[in-house]
Amino acid sequence: MLNSTFTEPDLTTFTGLNELGLTAAGQHLSKTKAEIVCHVTNPDPWCRTCGAPGVPRDTVIRRIAHQPFGWRPTDLVIKHRRYRCAYCRRVWREDLSQAVAPRQKISRTGLGWALVGLVCQHLSVSRIAEGLGVSWNTANEAVLAEGQRLLIDDPTRFDGVKVLGVDEHVWRHTRTGDKYVTVIVDLTAERDGTGTARLLDMIPGRSKAVFKTWLGEQDERWRQGIEVVAMDGFTGFKTAAVEELPHAVEVLDPFHVVKLGSEALDTTRQRVQREQYGRRGRKEDLLYQCRRTLTTGLSLATEKQKTKLEDLSKVPEHESVQLVWSVYQRMVDAYRQPKPEVGRWALEQLISEIGRKVPKGLPELQRLGGTLSRRKTDILAYFDHIGSSNGPTEALNGRLEHLRGIALGFRNLTHYIARSLLEAGGFRPGLHSEL
């Protein structure tokens, strides 16, 4: 037995016209499109100048795109009257502002449907334009303007931010080649375990000046609330954070710390390969065969991989690779310790060792030791602020790569930033209560 209360079928309610101040008067269905004839529910024939009643003059028909039903484009054919004041001779039309914005070709309900499709269902603008039965430019301009007004320009969007993540992002497929933007991410919910990271802003360029200028433009009270800034190894971001957020803690992300060790290991392997064979690695060379095995955590290595590592250690010429590999494994193990204090102690000991005791003939390890020593405070700060990782920032970069694939690339940077904010700005729960 059904518990819901049913009423008589009503086209006005079913199509959401009651929310637009319209009443359905008829319909016409074809294989490709649906048309709903409607009129203003509560006409206002009073003159706004003198207050006298107006005399109906004629009827004007206006067509606007509406929310599709069954993916069939639906148009509203609105018949609204024009009035003329009998006293001041002023002429006006019935007000349609509740149904459609000025100079707009899509109803407010249709814009809401398109915005939900873009943000929550990750539809392309082409698919939205097809559903609305309008051109790509019409759909794109209208939906982005609505998203900017309703979501991006929301003054409360930056409220509650305590942990920032900053990274660079490559904007590809431009007419002048690859360009870079600086990505600012809110990591507060990720650290607190209450949600996921969200994109705050994207700024053209990647430099200290870009990040410093963006921080300087923010409200002083907001800046005082920032506790942690997670970043990669780029010193420009660190310097900008130190100057604009002197009270915040800078955290060098574990991913980028381990990546420094991985790059040192890979560079050492390539150097030893050239010294031993006088050429680049080939598939029959043991060093080349182990290139991925070397960067795998020993606890995750298979028996086959462990056998390769044992064979590698038996060759005296590979001693340099073995030394750098052992450092890399210790870095990985430090971050995998279940107790943060143990991981901090282990990594601190490692940084001290390679910062002052590196055998000769290992320039890669010397550079690594120097980098880790300079950023020692930022690296160890991670263990005091578990969860303040820049990993979610890298994940958002992946979502932006997916967005570019959906849109088949972007040429306009302003358009790309707006679409990126709608895609990864954390607006889904506000538009869809079940997400």
Q: Is the pLDDT of residue 214 over 80?
A: yes
Tokens for 97? 């502002």
pLDDT in tens, 295-340: 888 888 889 988 988 888 888 888 999 999 999 999 999 999 999 9
Q: Which of 119, 152, 185 is the last residue of a domain?
A: 152
Do 142 and 169 sit in the same domain of this protein? no
pLDDT at residue 271, as a whole number: 93
2 domain residue, yes or no: no
174 domain residue, yes or no: yes
Do 16 and 130 sit in the same domain of this protein? yes
DSSP element (H, E) containing 326 = helix 319-335
Task: Give the chain's length.
Answer: 435
Contacts of residue 201, Cβ cutoff 8 Å, sequence gap at least 6: 183, 184, 214, 421
Q: Is the pLDDT of residue 171 over 80?
A: no
Average pLDDT, integer, range 181-205: 89
Pairing, β 34-40 against β 72-85: parallel
pLDDT at residue 261, as a whole number: 93
pLDDT at residue 5, as a whole number: 79
Q: Is the pLDDT of residue 435 over 50?
A: no
Do 147 and 95 sit in the same domain of this protein? yes
Q: Is the pLDDT of residue 167 over 80?
A: yes
Q: Which of 152, 173, 200 is the last residue of a domain?
A: 152
Q: Is the pLDDT of residue 215 over 60?
A: yes
pLDDT at residue 212, as a whole number: 94
Do 21 and 138 sit in the same domain of this protein? yes
Question: pTM value?
Answer: 0.81
Task: Report how many helices (DSSP H) and strands (DSSP E) the chain contains, helices first.
Answer: 18, 10
pLDDT at residue 71, as a whole number: 84
CATH code where residue 231 lies: 3.30.420
pLDDT at residue 175, as a whole number: 66
Residue 218: phi and psi, rounded to 5, are -80, 160
pLDDT at residue 98, as a whole number: 92
57 domain residue, yes or no: yes
Distance of alpha carbon 65 from alpha carbon 36, whole angstroms? 10
Do 16 and 117 sit in the same domain of this protein? yes
pLDDT in tens, 106-117: 999 999 999 999
Do 118 and 190 sit in the same domain of this protein? no
170 domain residue, yes or no: yes
Do 266 and 316 sit in the same domain of this protein? yes
DSSP element (H, E) containing 264 = helix 254-277
What percent of the chain stands above pLDDT 70?
A: 97
Number of separate domains in the chain: 3
What domain range is 415 assigned to? 163-253+389-431
Residue 385 pLDDT class (50, 70, 90 cuts): confident
Q: Is the pLDDT of residue 430 over 80?
A: no
Do 79 and 128 sit in the same domain of this protein? yes
pLDDT at residue 360, as a whole number: 82
Residue 206 pLDDT class (50, 70, 90 cuts): confident
Do 233 and 134 sit in the same domain of this protein? no
pLDDT at residue 201, as a whole number: 92
pLDDT in tens, 364-381: 999 999 999 999 999 999
Task: Compute the mean pLDDT over every residue in the chain, rounded to the nearest whole number.
Answer: 89
393 domain residue, yes or no: yes
Average pLDDT, integer, range 180-191: 89
Do 301 and 258 sit in the same domain of this protein? yes
Tokens for 44? 């206002």
Burial 183-217 (b: 16+ CB within 10 A, else e): bbbbbbbbbeeeeebbbbbbbeebbbebbbebbee
- Number of other CB atoms surrounding residue 409 within 10 Å: 12
Distance of alpha carbon 262 from alpha carbon 230, whole angstroms? 20
Reduced to 3 states, what is the DSSP secondary structure of residue 84? strand
Distance of alpha carbon 419 from alpha carbon 140, whole angstroms? 10
**β-bridge partners, 79:** 39, 61
Q: Is the pLDDT of residue 283 over 90?
A: no
pLDDT at residue 176, as a whole number: 67
157 domain residue, yes or no: no
Average pLDDT, integer, range 398-418: 84
Q: Which of 152, 174, 207 is the last residue of a domain?
A: 152
375 domain residue, yes or no: yes
Q: Given CA atoms 321, 323, 329, 332 in this order, what sign does their dihedral have?
A: negative
What percent of the chain stands above pLDDT 90?
A: 53
pLDDT at residue 70, as a whole number: 84
Do 269 and 319 sit in the same domain of this protein? yes
Distance of alpha carbon 203 from alpha carbon 182, whole angstroms? 5
246 domain residue, yes or no: yes
Distance of alpha carbon 55 from alpha carbon 78, whole angstroms? 20
Do 22 and 143 sit in the same domain of this protein? yes
Distance of alpha carbon 11 from alpha carbon 120, whole angstroms? 27
Q: Is the pLDDT of residue 44 over 50?
A: yes
pLDDT at residue 138, as a whole number: 94
